[in-house]
């Protein structure tokens, strides 16, 4: 797999993160033309699916997705990491940078 640069944006509340995330995804096509990749598998525009995958405690993502038990969450995420890895592998063939934002 060719290497891509990673731009990792982790924003806290009330710092303009939502505006940046919405701008990135509303410009996904022109950014892609410049070989900057934004995931669709990780959730968009906030890539919250990626973050929640690694959070052990119940949070609002559980409620939004109807998780009642850890097993519900596990079922939701079955194959997710493999799917995300495959998406990044494919993107690395045509893009030089990926942006992860949450």
Q: Residue 7: its pLDDT value, please? A: 97
pTM for this predicted structure:
0.89
Q: What is the pLDDT of residues 41-60, one digit of tens each?
A: 999 888 999 999 999 899 88
Provide the 3-class DSSP secondary structure of residue 36. strand
The residues spanned by each domain of the chain are: 5-101
Higher-confidence position of 14 and 86: 86
- DSSP string spanning 49-71? HHHHHT--S--HHHHHHT--SHH
Mean pLDDT for the chain overall: 94
The region, left, alpha or beta by phi > 0 then psi within -120 to 50, assigned to residue 3 is: beta
When computed from its CA atoms, the radius of gyration of the chain, rounded to whole angstroms, is 15
Q: Residue 1: its pLDDT value, please? A: 67
Which two three-digit tokens encode residue 68? Answer: 């009642």
């Amino acid at each position: 797999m060719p290497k891509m640069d990673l731009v990792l944006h982790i924003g806290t509340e009330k710092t303009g993160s939502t505006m940046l995330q919405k701008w990135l995804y509303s410009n996904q096509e022109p950014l892609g033309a410049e070989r900057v990749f934004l995931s669709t598998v990780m959730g968009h525009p906030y890539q919250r699916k990626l973050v929640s995958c690694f959070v052990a405690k119940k949070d609002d993502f559980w409620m939004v997705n109807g998780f009642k038990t850890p097993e519900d969450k596990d079922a939701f995420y079955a194959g997710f990491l493999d799917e995300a890895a495959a998406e990044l592998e494919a993107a690395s063939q045509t893009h030089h940078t990926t942006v992860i934002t949450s």
